[in-house]
Structure 1
Amino acid sequence: MAGILVLRWYLVKSLSGDVVAYRGEGPVTEVGFQSWPSGGKSITDGTTPTLPSPARPTGETGTEDTGRDLQSSNSLFHPSAGPVQAGFFCWDVATGEINCDPSTFRLHGLPEGSPPHLDTFLSRIPESDLPEFVGALQSMAEAGGNYQIAYRIAADGGGWRQLEARGRVLADAAGAPTRMVGVVMDTTAAYERQEAEKRRLYEGATRNRLMQQLTAALAAAVTFRDIMAATQVGLQEFGASGLAVVASQRDGLSVVASYGCHDEELAAVCDADTGACFPLQDALARQAPVFVASVTDLAAAHPQPAQQAAGGSCRAWAAIPMADSRGPIGACLMGFPSPREFGPEERALLVAVAGLLAQSLERAGMYESQHALATELQRGMLHPGPLSAPGLTIAARYQAATSGMRIGGDWYDAICLPDGAVALVIGDVQGHSVHAASLMGKLRTVIHAYTCEGHGPAAVLARTNRLMVEFNPDPDRAMFATCCYLLIRPAEGTLEACTAGHPAPALIAPGEPPRLLDIAGGLPLGVDPQAQYPTERMLIRPGSVLAVTTDGLLEAAGGDIGVAIEAFLAELAGAATADLEVLADELLAGVQRARRRSDDIALLLARLTGPTVR
């Protein structure tokens, strides 16, 4: 990261002797160091250092020639690889004096006549980096051997210059460090390349992460509204401020969905006369992406659309054709608030976003069609209009799920019998699909028929159960249902209750707290053809309210089911005197605020208003 001091050093035991062989990187291939004289003088004779021949181990041919070259040169340093942007130095650890050549001063931005002392060079290092730099020097001096350290100095034109020093720490006979000799090189270009590569990798990782998030959001979205909301959030992360999805139709272009675009911009996009050369039309005509980096670039190719776009909020555009499984369907226009150079990676990413958006919209269209069909099917199977029965005041509600197909198998019914009795039925078929809704319609019809034949609650559920088993010939695809059957005789004030795996109803008698009825119950419908369903009989007073719901209402509260039941009973505390329609809305108000609900809900409230005959 630019602006942060990077310190690296290697503490390696090397061969002893005054001549140290160093193999460098880049232009510097091999550098020889000669022992330094004391006195702390800098090399300022203006001669160009020349690198000596590569140092060879003692005993090899050429050692004598190397020694003669060192003695005959006017400089203490003898480059052998040609001129390089490097300087040579020797730091006396005890005195702090530095012998160096003019290049070392120039690399540090110092005049050649500067005091040859360590403090002079330290003055060029930022104060924030000094403690770590000085600590690294001390550590390297104490450790001895070869070292390498990278640091920065302030550049003349602003910014920073990156330098790197490498060399060897020389010690006396006792092992105490005496001198640090080495070469310093300007590594700014290499450092900037490394930082650019780091930025490229970081930006690529960021794009991948954002793309994964957008893909997951689009996969979870099932409606057009959800898809556009997820796309808006995702494209904002990529810098886009507006989006228009345009469909190709016989009479021209039509905006299917948009956000962040002014009406004038949308009109220019879809108007065949004024926007005929807009990038979107180019993309559709060529069936290839079109990227416009600025209004200036747009004006150079299409003057008229550029005038219209000048008053808009976007200053760069990406127009990308869209296709689904059926073929081309239109295009999307992404707008950016400022001029933008679209690099290869960003272009590929935006094209991928357009592809994901097209697939999501196709899936949403299929979902909407299926949902509309299923909704009509379910609406036709539920009881039409409000429920009513002599001697009872009834309020009923059905709340669809907010995820999946948004349909299910919950139902309710009120069946008036010739003798004045009223059967209140509520049930829940397993699953949330068209199959569950159709099975619910069958069960509702069957229960209605058995009730009208004059069978009691237990017989109705037993016969329905056997028929439900016949509906499940394949055990692997078997479906089950729960049901609560309440037979009320308002004139007598009696109740016969029977349940098949369903939550027990609640009774709220005048002046008494709400309580769940103690009903033995039986297995869900469709499990065991021989299942029996015990019936509980009791008296209920006028003004009493019966409340029964499916498990979707209780599970919507989350947490423990026992806690949910207690909360449900607490909300029924004033039911004996409350308006049942208002109470039903209040009971569903909490779950309606939930963003996602995986189960549908049926609710049935009934107050006994008829006289009681003793």
Structure 2
Amino acid sequence: MRTGEALPAAGDVLATLATGLWHWSTGNELVTVDEEAARLLGLPAERTTLTEAQARARLHPVDWNEITAVIQLAVAEGTLAEVRIRIMDEHSRVVRVVRSRSKPSFDPVKKAYEVIGTLQEVTEPGPGPSAGRRTVTGDWRRSREAFLLDAGRALAEARSTAEVLRVADGLAMPGFSPDRLAVFGVQGDRLTIIGQHGDRPGDDGPFTQMPLETDYPAAEVVRTGRAVYLSSPADYKSRYPVAWPLAQHFGRQSWAFLPLTVAGRTMGAWMAAFSHPVAFTPDERSVLTTVARMLAQALSRAGVADSERELAEGLQRSMLPSLGPRIPGMCVAARYIPTGGGLQVGGDWYDLIPLPGGRFALAIGDVQGHDVRAAGLMGQLRIALRAYAAEGHRPDAVLSRASRFLHGMAGDGADARFATCLYAEADPATGVLEIARAGHPDPAIRMADGTVMTRPTAGGLPLGIDPDADYPTTRFTLEAGETMMICTDGLIEAGGHDMESGWRRIRRILEGHLPDPDGDDLEPLADDLVQAVHGPTGSRREDDMAVLLLSRTAAGVRPGTAPRARTRRTLMSVAQDEPERIAEARQHVRELLHDWTSADQVDSAVLLVSEMVTNVLVHTDADAMLLAEVTGDKGERRLRVEVTDAGDDLPHRRRPGELASSGRGLLLIELLAESWGVDPRGEGKSIWFVLCEGA
């Protein structure tokens, strides 16, 4: 070029240097490229305008995301944006690598970025040291991508602030891992430290409750929303002379302070400090910025989850009662475990209600659903039950009124709710329990010798379904050394069990527990039940669960009354319209004799019980009441079974013919029982038989 000649156009100079120009406007989502930039993108060498989707299709997807991050960072810091980009062909293969340098700007009115930059191909290195450098660069890029994927997955899975901080502490950035981390939050007009790693306890003292106006990097980041990079102690000292004495004694060489921004709001700052000098190249800044963005999102999600969890736990605690002072002669223990998902609230509850005369009531129930409405209805229903009990109503009346109350509260539309409930009144002096049940599982009794059986009780519909439903009452005595367990179905069905398999698991736990000799400490048993079924802490459960234990201690037996030692019994009624419960009666007798030495005697007892109960249902209009009792030491025990009904006709022996379908009941009793009899009552009668073990 001769002196005095005009300079060539900028585009001609860039074309001579194999450098293309590109312009990207996020406002209209268009990318304009000149001839050289089009060639580098694998397009015909002519000036053209592409949509964002068309431009993105030419680039490696990871690099497109990196461009977006680097541009935002450059705008925030007022610097150039530099990034390497892999160009892909139509078969998703990398055909070349280009370097982009640009000067982005942001229009706050249009809320759009304007980016003008250059594209230049990165020359493929030949043999020698440069090839080694390329390999190192490629490995670093792959390591960085793998690191960001792993970090994003780990932070996304963190469910609490503590878990997020633990994940952040364990991040090992490729090639330039920090050895000190701190996460700063904001409370009012002050900076606080949410968590830190790499220092001794107490070293963060000077940085807690620091005013936001302090000349400290993290405070400036929170105020401005822009990152601060300090590559050397001299850089730190010159920019923040007031804060430098606080940071000097930690002995670090480089620092990065990045904003934690969510939805355009800076919620805090993240500090990464290094014991070795770091230049903070565009690639390194890109990694730090991406981690800070993921960390901010994770902390925001965890903060919401922490608040919801605290709200749910506080709500549930306020609705569950304290068991209060010890009850003379009785011992009570209870547990509640919330569901593992959502707000961790549900409709399960338990209650202990003092009654006049030293008596008390136990209530346990489950409102349909696992949401805030279920928890709210549960609280209202619990208060209603307490009110009805305090008025002096019997158990059947308490549940009848509660059902009418819930029906009025929950309605009868598509969003109607119902609740199961078991309500029991107890007399500590006698051990007598009166139980009414509304669609709830039967109680289980662990007898003094370790035998565990369900205790059949009469019941009605769940509360809230029929406002006029009846709830019959079952009355029995809890003997000294016996423990009653009542629970919600969440405890039984936890871990994918159904009611049958879940009950077998609960039974094994109850049978395998070593009881307190005096029967006055149920806490270990309550812990065993919960720990055995609800899984590891923090595991997700589909249902909440509640369990309530009641035992009668030796101290609960009235003076002068000898406790019934080595006795186990079952009591149940079979109504005229419940013939299916005959099978249940047979099963209960078999469970009562689970360790009987003679299997043939067990079969005989089951057969006789079936005959006696069936005889009442067929030949009278009354219901049958079955009482089976085992007494004595093993090997010499005595079984006495009694079936009572209100009918006046006494059974009599008959001689049935070969084709007769009935009339053999008394013959079987006479043949199989050691002794038997029929006892008239004032109203009705009872028929009984006795079997002696080993006879």
Question: How would you bin the TM-score normalised by the shorter chain?
Answer: 0.5 to 0.7
How far is 1:216 from its partner? 1.8
What is the letter of the counterpart of residue 510 of structure 2?
L
Aligned residue number for residue 199 of structure 1: 139
Contact 1:396–1:584 (Cα < 8 Å) also in 2? no
> Following the alignment from structure 1 to structure 2, what is the Cα–Cα distance between the partners of residues 346 and 482?
60
Aligned residue number for residue 518 of structure 1: 456
Q: Closer, same or farther in 2 for the Cα pair 1:554/1:342, shift >3 Å?
A: farther
How far is 1:206 from its partner? 0.2
SS at match of 1:471: helix
Q: Closer, same or farther in 2 for the Cα pair 1:272/1:568, shift >3 Å?
A: closer
How far is 1:324 from its partner? 4.2
What is the letter of the counterpart of residue 147 of structure 2?
R
How far is 1:550 from its partner? 3.2
The answer to whether residue 188 in structure 2 is matched with residue 244 in structure 1 is: no
> Following the alignment from structure 2 to structure 1, what is the Cα–Cα distance between the partners of residues 378 and 417?
11
The answer to whether residue 506 in structure 2 is matched with residue 565 in structure 1 is: yes
Contact 2:331–2:520 (Cα < 8 Å) also in 1? no
SS at match of 1:450: helix
SS at match of 1:468: helix
> Following the alignment from structure 1 to structure 2, what is the Cα–Cα distance between the partners of residues 205 and 288?
24
Q: 2:259 aligns with which of 321, 327, 332?
A: 321
Contact 1:324–1:358 (Cα < 8 Å) also in 2? yes
Aligned residue number for residue 212 of structure 1: 152
Kindly provide the CA deviation profile for residues 98-154 of structure 1, in whole angstroms up to 9, marking residues without a partner as x. Answer: xxxxxxxxxxxxxxxxxxxxxxxxxxxxxxxxxxxxxxxxxxxxxxxxxxxxxxxxx
Q: 1:460 aligns with which of 356, 375, 398?
A: 398
Kindly provide the CA deviation profile for residues 57-98 of structure 1, in whole angstroms up to 9, marking residues without a partner as x. Answer: xxxxxxxxxxxxxxxxxxxxxxxxxxxxxxxxxxxxxxxxxx
Q: Closer, same or farther in 2 for the Cα pair 1:333/1:567, shift >3 Å?
A: farther
Q: 1:233 aligns with which of 141, 163, 170?
A: 170
Contact 1:217–1:230 (Cα < 8 Å) also in 2? no
Q: Closer, same or farther in 2 for the Cα pair 1:269/1:577, shift >3 Å?
A: closer
Contact 2:438–2:461 (Cα < 8 Å) also in 1? yes
> Following the alignment from structure 1 to structure 2, what is the Cα–Cα distance between the partners of residues 475 and 336?
63
> Following the alignment from structure 2 to structure 1, what is the Cα–Cα distance between the partners of residues 173 and 469?
58
The answer to whether residue 481 in structure 2 is matched with residue 481 in structure 1 is: no
What is the letter of the counterpart of residue 486 of structure 1?
A
Contact 2:192–2:207 (Cα < 8 Å) also in 1? no
How far is 1:323 from its partner? 3.6
How far is 1:446 from its partner? 1.8
Aligned residue number for residue 616 of structure 2: none
How far is 1:307 from its partner? 6.7
Q: Closer, same or farther in 2 for the Cα pair 1:199/1:359, shift >3 Å?
A: closer
> Following the alignment from structure 2 to structure 1, what is the Cα–Cα distance between the partners of residues 209 and 528?
50
What is the letter of the counterpart of residue 162 of structure 2?
R
What is the letter of the counterpart of residue 229 of structure 1?
R
Q: 2:480 aligns with which of 539, 542, 554?
A: 542
How far is 1:352 from its partner? 3.6
Contact 2:147–2:173 (Cα < 8 Å) also in 1? no
> Following the alignment from structure 1 to structure 2, what is the Cα–Cα distance between the partners of residues 204 and 512?
62
SS at match of 1:596: coil
Q: 1:357 aligns with which of 295, 311, 325?
A: 295
Gaps of 5+ in 1: 1-184
How far is 1:425 from its partner? 0.9
> Following the alignment from structure 1 to structure 2, what is the Cα–Cα distance between the partners of residues 488 and 534?
16
SS at match of 2:170: helix
Aligned residue number for residue 537 of structure 2: 595
What is the letter of the counterpart of residue 213 of structure 1?
R
Q: 1:580 aligns with which of 488, 498, 521?
A: 521
Kindly provide the CA deviation profile for residues 9-68 of structure 1, in whole angstroms up to 9, marking residues without a partner as x. Answer: xxxxxxxxxxxxxxxxxxxxxxxxxxxxxxxxxxxxxxxxxxxxxxxxxxxxxxxxxxxx
> Following the alignment from structure 1 to structure 2, what is the Cα–Cα distance between the partners of residues 186 and 365?
52
The answer to whether residue 447 in structure 2 is matched with residue 506 in structure 1 is: no
RMSD: 4.2
How far is 1:568 from its partner? 2.8
How far is 1:534 from its partner? 5.3
How far is 1:444 from its partner? 0.9
Matches within 5 A, 1:23-172: none
> Following the alignment from structure 2 to structure 1, what is the Cα–Cα distance between the partners of residues 139 and 412?
59
Q: Closer, same or farther in 2 for the Cα pair 1:252/1:424, shift >3 Å?
A: closer
Aligned-pair identity in percent equals: 33
How far is 1:492 from its partner? 4.7
Contact 1:544–1:576 (Cα < 8 Å) also in 2? no
> Following the alignment from structure 2 to structure 1, what is the Cα–Cα distance between the partners of residues 412 and 236?
64
What is the letter of the counterpart of residue 447 of structure 1?
L
Q: Closer, same or farther in 2 for the Cα pair 1:391/1:229, shift >3 Å?
A: same
Gaps of 5+ in 2: 1-124, 565-695
Contact 1:575–1:583 (Cα < 8 Å) also in 2? no
What is the letter of the counterpart of residue 271 of structure 2?
L
> Following the alignment from structure 1 to structure 2, what is the Cα–Cα distance between the partners of residues 414 and 270?
46
> Following the alignment from structure 2 to structure 1, what is the Cα–Cα distance between the partners of residues 519 and 178?
53
> Following the alignment from structure 1 to structure 2, what is the Cα–Cα distance between the partners of residues 605 and 330?
48
Matches within 5 A, 1:181-200: 195=135, 198-199=138-139
> Following the alignment from structure 1 to structure 2, what is the Cα–Cα distance between the partners of residues 284 and 423?
57
Contact 1:514–1:572 (Cα < 8 Å) also in 2? no
Q: Closer, same or farther in 2 for the Cα pair 1:284/1:376, shift >3 Å?
A: closer
> Following the alignment from structure 1 to structure 2, what is the Cα–Cα distance between the partners of residues 428 and 402?
16
Matches within 5 A, 1:439-450: 439-450=377-388
Q: Closer, same or farther in 2 for the Cα pair 1:327/1:589, shift >3 Å?
A: same
> Following the alignment from structure 1 to structure 2, what is the Cα–Cα distance between the partners of residues 467 and 480?
11
Contact 2:222–2:267 (Cα < 8 Å) also in 1? no
What is the letter of the counterpart of residue 225 of structure 1?
A
Would you say how many aligned residue pairs link Structure 1 and Structure 2? 426
Aligned residue number for residue 548 of structure 2: 604
Q: Closer, same or farther in 2 for the Cα pair 1:342/1:551, shift >3 Å?
A: farther
How far is 1:605 from its partner? 2.0
Q: Closer, same or farther in 2 for the Cα pair 1:419/1:339, shift >3 Å?
A: same
How far is 1:192 from its partner? 5.1
SS at match of 1:405: coil
What is the letter of the counterpart of residue 545 of structure 1?
T
SS at match of 2:166: helix
Q: TM-score, normalised by structure 2?
A: 0.52
> Following the alignment from structure 1 to structure 2, what is the Cα–Cα distance between the partners of residues 541 and 272?
65
What is the letter of the counterpart of residue 470 of structure 1?
G
> Following the alignment from structure 2 to structure 1, what is the Cα–Cα distance between the partners of residues 407 and 334?
29
Q: Closer, same or farther in 2 for the Cα pair 1:461/1:574, shift >3 Å?
A: same
> Following the alignment from structure 1 to structure 2, what is the Cα–Cα distance between the partners of residues 593 and 533?
35
How far is 1:518 from its partner? 3.0
Q: TM-score, normalised by structure 1?
A: 0.57
Kindly provide the CA deviation profile for residues 494-543 of structure 1, in whole angstroms up to 9, marking residues without a partner as x. Answer: 33334334343221222342222234655543456566655443333233
> Following the alignment from structure 2 to structure 1, what is the Cα–Cα distance between the partners of residues 531 and 469?
36
Q: Greater Rg, structure 1 or structure 2?
A: 1
Asked which structure has the greater RCO (Cα within 8 Å, sep 6+), the reply is 1
Contact 2:338–2:345 (Cα < 8 Å) also in 1? yes
> Following the alignment from structure 1 to structure 2, what is the Cα–Cα distance between the partners of residues 249 and 589?
39
Q: Closer, same or farther in 2 for the Cα pair 1:471/1:322, shift >3 Å?
A: same
How far is 1:208 from its partner? 3.7
Q: Closer, same or farther in 2 for the Cα pair 1:558/1:519, shift >3 Å?
A: same
What is the letter of the counterpart of residue 205 of structure 1?
E
SS at match of 1:594: coil
Kindly provide the CA deviation profile for residues 171-229 of structure 1, in whole angstroms up to 9, marking residues without a partner as x. Answer: xxxxxxxxxxxxxx9755896587457425522430342233134224xx13x323322
How far is 1:471 from its partner? 2.9
Q: Closer, same or farther in 2 for the Cα pair 1:242/1:537, shift >3 Å?
A: same
What is the letter of the counterpart of residue 168 of structure 2?
T
How far is 1:289 from its partner? 1.0
Kindly provide the CA deviation profile for residues 335-394 of structure 1, in whole angstroms up to 9, marking residues without a partner as x. Answer: 244433434344234334333434444455555555555544443433345255565332
Structure 1, 313-322 or 475-484: larger mean CA deviation: 475-484
Contact 1:400–1:407 (Cα < 8 Å) also in 2? yes
SS at match of 1:580: coil
Contact 1:502–1:550 (Cα < 8 Å) also in 2? yes
What is the letter of the counterpart of residue 228 of structure 1?
L
How far is 1:487 from its partner? 2.9
> Following the alignment from structure 2 to structure 1, what is the Cα–Cα distance between the partners of residues 550 and 418?
26
> Following the alignment from structure 2 to structure 1, what is the Cα–Cα distance between the partners of residues 513 and 185?
51
Contact 1:430–1:481 (Cα < 8 Å) also in 2? yes
